[in-house]
Structure formats: structure tokens, C-alpha cells
Amino acid sequence: MNIAFIFPGQGSQTIGMGKSFYENSKNAKELLESASDFCKIDFKHLLFEENDQLNKSEFTQPAIVLNSLMAYVALIEQKPDLQAVFSLGHSLGEFSALAVNGALEFLQTLTLTNKRGFFMQEDCSKVEAGMMVVLGLDDQIVESICEKAQKENKKIFAANYNCDGQIVVAGLKPDLISYENEFKNAGAKRAMLLNMSVASHCPLLENASSKLCVELEKTLKPNFKAVISNANAKIYTDKEQALKLLKSQLISPVLYKQSIKNYENEIDCFIEFGASVLKGLNKKISSKETYSLTNFNDIDEFLKVIK
């Protein structure tokens, strides 16, 4: 069976995520404990207990990546020979894909995404940033409305191409609010502000992107297995490509829908690690099955399918 590994991004966090992997997988438990020591973050508290840190970007990002990596090591513990044809992630999830495919060490990935979250929050703390989901419009209509807004000196940009009829736009919150009716008048079923204090994947993160690139230069391996870029929806496998594409990643839209469509014919199914957000999107994009591993029981069920 030809498989693709997929990894969720920010917004998939929940208190209690990863606990089933921690309690049932020796490797997942060791990974969390090593991560806490290495990153100087109490991940057991952050993931499993009520706290106000989990929704702060600098903690959200390593927490989500750690949850995905715990799901991955728990699966590989049970099925060591399992390999993917390629891996991809949605936004932050691209870093989980890079770690699993040998581009980054697991613990360094957590430190890197901790910094990524901090850099993003730092950039957006200087402005009133936000994101808005737009449902029911063709890509071209959303893009043309964003272009119109930009001509009026408003900061509104297409940020996430999730599936047909679902695009997230990013920019300055007052500008997004002022254009809510513009999207609805064009036929959007919904134009709703998201509970986000950052504006991901748009030019407002230029400084964060540059700072992240400095960190990536130090940590990326020269070569690795196939990862699909959010920035151009194509496969890359080396550090030189990665530096260019990941520099673009924070300031360019996430081409998730395009990535799935470009490569779905090469695989039989997708495995999502740590959440089921992408499974929901994939149902609207592809006819290929997506198996979501959100707890240890999901691993048992998946292994029955592929035996």
C-alpha cells in the first residue's frame, strides 16, 4: 500500500491531546519527557492539564508538533517498516513532515517551532492582526476581492486554500471586518473572523520569516525524503530548496488543496497524525481514504486495515 503522511497545523490543539500515546507507547512517553528537558517546557502540563499557555502561539506550535510526532513514533513502534511515498503538513504541519522525513531532528523541530510561534506573535503584536474564513466562494472571486482591498490600501490576503469553497484570508483585523459584507455580497455563505491573534501566510510576517530562516540554516539536514511544500505544492528534498520554500512559507498562502490534488494519484491513502482536521478537508478534495490517528486505539484500528 502506498501511503502519504499528513500533519495538522495551528488550531488543532486541545487539552488532553497526546495523552493516549503517552500512556500506551514507550517511545511516545520518552519523546515527551526528552522534549520537556530539551525545550525547558513542561509539555505534560501543557498538553494534559488545563492551562492558558496552549493557545499562545509560541507554545501552541511545539505542542501540536509534539502531539503529531508522538502519534508517529507510537505507530512506528507497532509497525517499524511503515514508510510514506511523501509527507506534507498544513502550515505548521510542514515542520512535522520535515522532522519525520529526516530534514530536522525531532527535538530541534520543537525548539524551532517554539521560536516560529514567538516570531509570529512578535510581528503581529505591533498591529491588530487577524484571520477570517470565507465559505462558498470560488478561489478567483476571493482573490479578486483581496486585490480590490489591497488597491484601497487595506491589508487583506488569501492565506489558506483549504478545499473548494473554503479559503482563509489574513491581514489587519479592522480591514477584514470592513470587508466582511464584501465577501457576503459576492455570494459567500459565511465570512467569519477566527480566534487568531496572528495573520499567518501573508506579508505581515516578513520579519518573522527572515528570523526563522536564520534558525533553519543552522538546523536543516542536507538531504531528506520527499516533502510537499505549502508554498508551491511541489516536492522538495534538500536544504537549498527548503530554505527558499520555508522562507516563503510564512508570507505565502498555504496551497493545501493544490498539494493533495497534485499528488493523490501516487498513493492509496493518507495517514493524519494527532488530529482529524485534515481528514475533514480531504473528504472534500480527494476520493482517497484518510486515517486519522488521534489516540492509541486509532493506531490499532489502522493496523488492522493494512494487514
Choose the catalytic residue: 12, 96, 201, 209: 201
Domain annotation covers residue 33: yes
Q: Is the pLDDT of residue 11 over 90?
A: no
Question: Residue 66 maps to which CATH number?
Answer: 3.40.366.10
pLDDT of 275 higher than 90: yes
- Residues 113, 144: one domain? no
Q: What is the pLDDT of residue 195?
A: 83
15 and 83 inside one domain:
yes
Name the band, by pLDDT with cuts 50, 70 and 90, for residue 53: confident
Mean per-residue pLDDT of the chain = 96
259 is an active site residue: no
Please state the rounded mean pLDDT for residues 215-222.
96
What is the percent of the chain with per-residue pLDDT over 70, rounded to a whole number? 100
Q: Which long-range contacts (CB under 8 A, 24 or more apart) does 150-156 make?
A: 154/178, 154/179, 155/199, 155/202, 155/203, 155/204
The mean-pLDDT minimum among 10-14, 64-68, 81-85, 230-234 falls in 10-14
Sheet with 129-135, edge to edge strand ranges: 156-163, 166-172, 129-135, 190-193
Q: Of 20, 25, 91, 209, which is the active-site residue? A: 91
pLDDT score of 3 more than 90: yes
The whole-number pLDDT of residue 55 equals 84
Q: Are residues 269 and 176 in the same domain?
A: no
Which range of residues forms the domain containing residue 187?
Answer: 129-193
Check whether 165 has a pLDDT greater than 80: yes
Count how many domains the chain has. 2
Asked if 45 is an active-site residue, the reply is no
10 occurs within a structural domain: yes
Residue 213 has pLDDT above 90, yes or no: yes
pTM across the whole model: 0.95
CA 18, CA 271: separation in Å to the nearest integer? 16
Amino acid identity at 82: L
Q: Is pLDDT at 151 greater than 90 in this prediction?
A: yes
pLDDT of residue 179: 97
Q: Is the pLDDT of residue 171 over 90?
A: yes
Confidence (pLDDT) at 33? 97
Q: Are residues 294 and 164 in the same domain?
A: no
At 54-96, the pLDDT tens digits run: 888 899 999 999 999 999 999 999 999 999 999 999 999 999 9
The answer on 139 and 184 residing in a single domain is yes
Instruction: Answer yes or no: is 198 within a domain.
Output: no
Evaluate whether 94 touches 230 at the Cβ level (below 8 Å): yes
Residue 102 and residue 217 in one domain: yes
